[in-house]
């Protein structure tokens, strides 16, 4: 019954928070566009058989030299900017959700065990987390990509996961340290419940709410990090679309007046991250009892 009241309160709060709704709508639209990319884009920008330099640096359709179907113009390879953005969002979201899934699962598991059992498990986990936390995630990802070379989307995901699990582990550990001392956990332990049952039935469900905030914030951070790596030329391979790679290519033409090559991919990246952050801010305010919402 208590869980139903919490769900009802969250749903009511969400419907009355315009920023959260706008952020959720933006994120859902980007996800749908990424999933439906082959059907809503006029071309596959990475199908070499359909590309031609005849459409080299075509401006947006509303400009004098613009032409259909290139709504937002084309790049230096004749690829439609609109189509490439949609396919690039697919790459960004794939990397984002991939990192959140892998790093989140690994970090939550370690944090859960470290917080519950303590001792040497806690010491080793937290010292490793502190060590990785002292380094830049970007630099560690670049180092990993440099060692393995021949990057792919999977390699990029794993490179980011090297240090990204730390925030999940630290958050989960802190939450578990509070939850495991509660009366209902002690009562369940007194009745003879095993550690596995305690962790899954009592500790994890009550310690997990703060992780949702970390997950939402981390999704935006990872998407920006993937764009940064691709901008630097060490991210996804050249045959994969990427917003960061589009911006990197566009910067070479910005002073020649081909502003659309950098403006539209940059705007799409900013809009996606802002949408996620709006939703994450609402989650943070709702799930963190220490934050008092303004009337």
- pLDDT tens, residue by residue, 70-94: 888 888 888 889 999 999 999 999 9
Task: Take residue 244 and report the two structure tokens written for it.
Answer: 């960061």
Question: Nearest 5°: CA angle at 160, between 156 and 161?
Answer: 115
Q: Examine residue 205 and state whether it is found in any structural domain, yes or no.
A: yes
Q: How far, in Å, CA of 211 to CA of 14, rounded? A: 18
Q: How far is CA 204 from CA 31, 104, 177, in A?
A: 29, 14, 11
The pLDDT tens digits for 215-270 are: 999 999 999 999 999 998 888 887 888 899 999 988 888 888 888 899 999 999 99
Q: How far, in Å, CA of 274 to CA of 263, rounded? A: 16
Q: Examine residue 216 and state whether it is found in any structural domain, yes or no.
A: yes
The domain in which residue 161 lies consists of: 72-287
Q: How far is CA 286 from CA 9, 93, 216, 295, in A?
A: 9, 25, 13, 13
Q: Examine residue 16 and state whether it is found in any structural domain, yes or no.
A: no
The pLDDT tens digits for 98-137 are: 999 999 999 999 999 998 888 898 899 999 988 888 888 8
Total structural domains in the chain? 1
What is this structure's pTM?
Answer: 0.88
Q: Which of 162, 169, 172, 173 is nearest to 222 (CA)?
A: 162
Q: Examine residue 49 and state whether it is found in any structural domain, yes or no.
A: no
Alpha carbon dihedral 149, 151, 157, 161, in 10-degree steps, equals 10
Following DSSP, what letter does each residue of 166-191 receive, concatenated?
Answer: HHHHHHHHHHHHHHTTSHHHHHHHHT
Q: Examine residue 15 and state whether it is found in any structural domain, yes or no.
A: no
Q: Examine residue 82 and state whether it is found in any structural domain, yes or no.
A: yes
Q: How far, in Å, CA of 250 to CA of 289, rounded? A: 45
Q: Examine residue 119 and state whether it is found in any structural domain, yes or no.
A: yes
The pLDDT tens digits for 185-197 are: 777 777 777 778 8
Q: Examine residue 281 and state whether it is found in any structural domain, yes or no.
A: yes
- What's the CATH number where 142 sits? 1.10.3720.10
């Amino acid at each position: 019954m208590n869980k139903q009241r919490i769900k009802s309160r969250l749903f009511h709060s969400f419907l009355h928070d315009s920023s959260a709704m706008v952020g959720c709508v933006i994120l859902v639209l980007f996800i749908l566009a990424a999933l439906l990319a082959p059907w809503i884009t006029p071309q596959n920008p990475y199908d070499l058989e359909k590309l031609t330099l005849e459409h080299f640096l075509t401006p947006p359709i509303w400009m004098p030299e613009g032409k259909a179907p290139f709504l937002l113009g084309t790049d230096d390879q004749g690829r439609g900017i609109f189509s490439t953005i949609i396919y690039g969002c697919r790459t960004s979201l794939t990397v984002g959700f991939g990192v959140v899934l892998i790093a989140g699962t690994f970090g939550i598991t370690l944090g859960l065990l470290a917080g519950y059992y303590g001792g040497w498990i806690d010491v080793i986990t937290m010292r490793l987390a502190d060590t990785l936390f002292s380094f830049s995630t970007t630099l560690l990802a670049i180092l990993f990509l440099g060692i393995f070379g021949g990057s792919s989307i999977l390699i990029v995901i794993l490179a980011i996961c090297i240090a990204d699990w730390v925030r999940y582990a630290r958050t989960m550990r802190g939450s578990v340290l509070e939850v495991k001392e509660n009366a209902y956990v002690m009562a369940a332990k007194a009745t003879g419940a095993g550690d596995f049952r305690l962790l899954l039935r009592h500790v994890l469900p009550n310690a997990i709410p703060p992780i949702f905030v970390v997950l939402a914030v981390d999704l935006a951070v990872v998407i920006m990090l993937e764009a940064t790596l691709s901008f630097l030329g060490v991210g996804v391979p050249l045959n994969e679309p990427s917003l960061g790679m589009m911006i990197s290519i566009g910067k070479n033409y910005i002073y020649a007046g081909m502003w659309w090559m950098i403006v539209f991919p940059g705007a799409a990246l900013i809009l996606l991250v802002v949408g996620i952050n709006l939703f994450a801010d609402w989650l943070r305010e709702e799930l963190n009892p220490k934050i008092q919402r303004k009337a």
